[in-house]
Amino acid sequence: MRDLFQEELVGINNDISQMADLVGKAINKATESLLFADREIAERVIESDVLLNDLASALDERCTMLTAKQQPVATELRSVLGSMRIATSMERMGDLAVHVAKSARLRYPARAVPDELVETFRTLGHLAEELTQQLSRLVTNPDVTLAQDIQKADDKVDALHRELFRIVLSPDWQHGVEAAVDVTLLSRYYERFADHAVSIARRIVHVLTGEPYIDTVLH
C-alpha cells in the first residue's frame, strides 16, 4: 500500500511540475503581449487558462481520493495537503498572468505601459518566468537552498515594484492618471505572482522539514 501511495505522490508532483511549466509559459506570453501590444497573444493567454484550471481541479480531486483511500499521517499527510495548496497557488499565478494579458488587450492597439518603463516590465517578466522554472525544479527535487533562491528572486521583484510605485507618484510623472493606474496594477500583478512562488517554496520546505509555514501572500 505504501508503494502505491508513493507512486501516487510521484504522479501528483509531475502534475504540479506541469502546472509550473504552463504558468511559466503563460506569464512569458502575457509579458510579450504587454510589451508589444499584441492582442492575439493576449487572447491566447486568456483562453489557455482553462487548461491550468482543469489541471488544478483534477489534482485537487486526486489528492482528496488519495487521502480517503490511504489515510496518510505525519509527513505523508503534509505532502498531500501541501500539494493541494500548491496547486491552488499555481492556479492563482495563472490568473495573474491572465490579468496582465487582459491589461494588454484593454489598451490595444496602444501599449499599456510608457516607453521608458518597457525594460522594467521586461525584467519583471523575466524574473517571473525564472521563478516558475525554479519552482518546477523544486517540486521535482525538494531542496532548502533552491527555496532560498526563490526568495532572492522575489526580493528583486519587490524592489522593482517599489521603484515603479515611486515613479508613478513622482511629480515628474507625465503620463496621466490612467497610465499611472495601469502601471500600478500591472506591477502589483507581478509582485503577487512572485509572492505566490515564495509561498509555494515555503510550503515545500514545510513538507520537507516540518518547519512552521508562513503564507507570504498574507504577510
Concatenated DSSP letters of 79-119:
HHHHHHHHHHHHHHHHHHHHHHHHHHHHHTTS-SS-GGGHH
Instruction: Identify whether 215 is part of a domain.
Output: no
* Domain of residue 56, CATH code: 1.20.58.220
Confidence band for 75, pLDDT divided at 50, 70 and 90: confident
Instruction: Identify whether 85 is part of a domain.
Output: yes
97-138 per-position pLDDT tens digit: 999 999 999 999 999 999 999 999 999 999 999 999 999 999
Instruction: Identify whether 16 is part of a domain.
Output: yes
Separation of alpha carbons 115 and 35, rounded Å: 9
Going 136 to 147 to 82 to 30, the CA torsion angle's sign is: negative
Instruction: Identify whether 172 is part of a domain.
Output: yes
Separation of alpha carbons 185 and 147, rounded Å: 27
Contact 135, 20 (CB under 8 A): yes
16-36 per-position pLDDT tens digit: 999 999 999 999 999 999 999
Over residues 181-192, mean pLDDT: 98
Chain centroid to Cα 181, Å, comes to 22
Q: Could you tell me the residue range of the domain that residue 27 belongs to? A: 2-209
Over residues 162-185, mean pLDDT: 96
- Model confidence at 6: pLDDT above 60: yes
Instruction: Identify whether 36 is part of a domain.
Output: yes
- The three cell numbers of residue 22 are 504552463
Instruction: Identify whether 217 is part of a domain.
Output: no
Confidence band for 152, pLDDT divided at 50, 70 and 90: very high
Instruction: Identify whether 48 is part of a domain.
Output: yes
Count CB-CB contacts under 10 A for residue 22: 20
Instruction: Specify the number of domains making up the chain.
Output: 1
Torsional class of 201: left (φ above 0), alpha (ψ -120 to 50), beta (otherwise):
alpha
- Model confidence at 80: pLDDT above 60: yes
Instruction: Identify whether 216 is part of a domain.
Output: no
Torsional class of 74: left (φ above 0), alpha (ψ -120 to 50), beta (otherwise):
left
